[in-house]
Amino acid sequence: MTSLQPLWWLALPVLLLPILWHRQKRQRSASELLATARFLPSTAPQLRRVWRWTDLLLLALRLLLLVALIARLAVTIVPWRGDTVLADPALDPAWVAQQVRSAGMESAARIDLPADPLAWIPRHEHEFRRGTRLLVLGRAGTLTMPAVPPAFLHAVDLRSGPPALVPERPALHRVVVASVPERAAQWRALFAAFGSTGARWSVVEVPDDATELVVWDRDGTPPAEWKAPHWWQAARAPGARQVTAAGLALSYADTPRGRFWSGLPWPPASEAQAHAVYEAWRQVAVPPQPYPLAALTVAATRATPLPLPGKEPAHWLGWALLILFALERLVSHARRT
């Protein structure tokens, strides 16, 4: 809870209320035994005021109920964040400092940039006070242009910086080539040519969890335990659908083992065929890349925060409040009866 609301401890004095209610004052007589009372005057009994604890189970439930209520309020109602800078840790610190100074947010708090800042900001906007400004700094290509203009509760300034100090390694694609010996060299040459575009293609013998493609160029059927998202084979699968990409008429069929493709040159025998296969495969198997966002300033356009999603920490706090309240009422009723 300390990470959700830094000032939650200001509400702790409320816990003294049930403690005071459950400590009842009682008076009792305290008689002092004397050796003899024959030669002493009579004295009145001495009275003392003592504290007495009552209903300890009910007290514990009420304390837990108040603690859960304080946590709920700290998460959902009381905003505590002010101006904040969301910066990618891989950015050049000098460039980040320059952008923070230009935005006039030197005293703003800083947190690491989440994976999807445009989705993270609406989910956490209830944590920020009114009038808060957000500065989002990401690497070039990591911030993407949204399909529609975003609507935020606070003013947001998004800026893309230079590439990371440590260059990213190219993506690695694992491919299984199951071919007869006379055509295996052609398939390997094809994927070696694919690697000249920047990505890395690794040809292995047996598929694993990271395998993206299986090229089946043998007689018979593949082993039952082999699975991959995509398969290439010469024979057309039953119930296959037609699609045209890069001038090639391809057929595909979805099965529990993956998507089977046919209609490719088997195998590509020329540079033109290899280029056609690469362009067709990029069109049908590679998802479209989002348009990178260079800079965008969004003013506050909404007056009320969005409803909290079910995965927020306050979700289980609500259930805890309900259960504790029901138990407190049951124990309180049982005590009266």
Report the distance separating Cα 11 and Cα 67, nearest Å: 9
Which amino acid belongs to residue 205? Answer: E
* Cβ partners under 8 Å of residue 5, min gap 6: 74, 75, 78, 80
Look at residue 117 in the predicted model and tell me its pLDDT. 93
Tens-binned pLDDT, residue by residue, of the chain (337 aa)? 434 455 556 667 777 777 777 766 555 555 555 555 556 666 666 666 666 666 788 888 888 888 888 777 766 667 878 999 999 998 999 999 999 999 999 999 999 999 899 999 998 888 888 899 999 999 888 888 888 888 999 999 999 987 655 556 667 889 999 998 888 888 888 888 887 767 788 888 889 888 999 999 998 889 989 999 999 998 888 888 888 888 888 999 999 999 999 988 888 877 788 888 888 888 888 777 778 888 899 999 887 777 655 445 556 777 888 888 888 888 887 877 6
Half-sphere CA count of 89, side-chain side, radius 13 A: 4
Angle at alpha carbon of residue 170, lines to 166 and 175, rounded to 5°: 155
**Torsion sign over Cα 137, 143, 149, 153:** negative
Q: Does pTM top 0.85 for this prediction?
A: no
**CA distance to 66, 75, 174, 192, 315, per residue, from 321 (Å):** 9, 13, 50, 61, 10
* Cβ partners under 8 Å of residue 187, min gap 6: 177, 179, 203, 215, 217, 267
CB 172 within 8 A of CB 211: no
Look at residue 28 in the predicted model and tell me its pLDDT. 54
Look at residue 2 in the predicted model and tell me its pLDDT. 39
The structure tokens listed for 28 are 């009792």
Report the distance separating Cα 121 and Cα 137, nearest Å: 13
Look at residue 100 in the predicted model and tell me its pLDDT. 96
